[in-house]
Chains A and B, each alone.
Chain A
Amino acid sequence: MRRHRSRPANRLKRHLNASHLFITGAVVLPAYLMQPGLVVRVAQVLLFAALAHLAGKRIMWPYFVLMVASITFFNLLTPIGRVVLSLGPLQITTGALRSGLMKGFTIVGLVFVSLFSVRPDLRLPGKLGGLVARVFFYFERIIEGRKRIEARRLIDSIDDVLLELYTPGQQQSQAVFERVQTTTVGYALMVTLISVNWLLLFV
């Protein structure tokens, strides 16, 4: 079995509350999607990756490289435009290469935007939001009991944890959320990110 690497610290959480961070991601998204330049789009993807890292997310680079490579490869199977290289039966054309790279980076960038702008303390509105909060409350409890689960008596040990955490008919305690206030640095980061991404449309 593989060891699970720990996540980097969430440095954005000190400066931005979950709603403000989510709004930043939502406002940046249309500017990113409308960006026509491939080089600028790659730069944006790298910026979002850095932000995701600052948000404490572990980025699996091989996964994303493979993602861009496979999307580009499947696009190359439908030739468009001038042939730049022939690799056996595969003809690499400018149009297909550009369209494949553009599509691949767009998709990977969308994941990075989501990774930096969405975090578990983002409260969804209404009854559904309340239920999601309960899910996280129980999830933290289950994670605490995880170390007591043994592979040799799997069902029995899972049962021990479940019986301790949830018995029907008993009053359950309430979830408590830590509220984070957005700091001046946080607001400055929001404005900078939004302005830079929208201004890049006119470069």
Chain B
Amino acid sequence: MDQFKDKLLSSFIVFENQLNGQKNKPFHQLRRSAIDTFETKGFPTVRDEEWKYTNLKPLFKKDYNVFHSSEESLEFRDIRRYFLSESDTYKIVFINGFFASWLSSTTHQNYDVCTFSSALEKYQDIIDEYAGTIARNEDSLTALNTSFAREGAFIHIPDGKVVDRPIEIIFFTTDGDNNTFIQPRNLVVVGQNSQCNIVERHQSLGNQHTVSNCVTEVLAKKGAQVTYHKIQNDAPNASLIDSTTVKQEKDSTVTLHTFSFGGKLTRNNLEFDLVEPGAQANLYGISILNDYQLVDNHTVVNHISPHCESNELYKGIFDDHARGVFNGKVHVFPHAQKTNAFQENNNLLLTDTASIDTKPQLEIYADDVKCSHGCTIGQLDEDALFYLRQRGIPHKEAQALLMFAFTTDALRGLKIGELKNKLNRLIARKLSVNIDFDL
């Protein structure tokens, strides 16, 4: 870990020298203080309470390329299957950290759907106002991302606009021979009473080890409605550390779906700040893992203001030696009366070697609140299995149907038809059955 840390620290100097004019902009001050934070704190270890169940050491013992070359031979038809649609979505596509304009479909009409790097050049006022104000800069991995932040998605929706189609953000890595470390940085600002739907995906196309340390900041202004979907179905050697921080103003609704079906190690840090009354945060997660895959869902909902609501529902299915971690913290601040906070984590373990560590944490400093939490760990219901088999549904398909049924309440509210179909197919493939689940 120390070796790779040293490599990152020295890479920062190289990176800084590539920045030219950007070096003198206020955002770079943020990078500088962030690299100091990372230098002081380093990679988190299992001694750190928040990383007790997920050991990053094996991951960062390896060496990774930090600087990459752009790959321009990738064609849309080769990667069509990772997208929802060929023409009915906006697309912000990156390959090895570089923007791939020929695969993308951006816009500046009515709203901006483009790249973080172009925003650094063109929308400096928005960058200065929001970038780095929502993310947790004291967190060492967020700081590491901030110190190299230059590329990623930039979505800025002014007040009163409804984005007419879903926005797809996809990060591809292709480095065939090298282990790859990338650090995408996304900023999403949704104006008052505006609406947008986002789908984010990280996809390694090579066999080498890939680690993405991704940071996303989302601001939902008064009355904004944002639905954010994260599809995590990456290659067996690909790992993702995702830190997404959401700030919600009055009467805004943000729904975040996390679908974890693959990848070596997936760590989701989701943190919501409900800063004004009437904000509603919905966090839904479905993890279906097998082999030696690991998903670690760490969520924090900060009820800072009164009259806010949060709903959290995470469903996990773990087969083979797969491991899950769920750590859900709900923090109700002293003045946040009339808070409604609901949290649930249900898990199915299909083998004796699969495991889940689940830890709900409620910290409540107000006295007029409704908070609930619960977690369950179980196996498939044998009576239900027999019932389905008696009706002619074979064992494997019956199991799949029950597992799908187990996840469905975390799938509610999905509005994008093509996304439903895609998930339907992904889940069927993940459970290796050929049945139509009908979402």
Indicate whether A and B interact.
no
Chain B positions within 8 Å of A, measured between CB atoms, are none
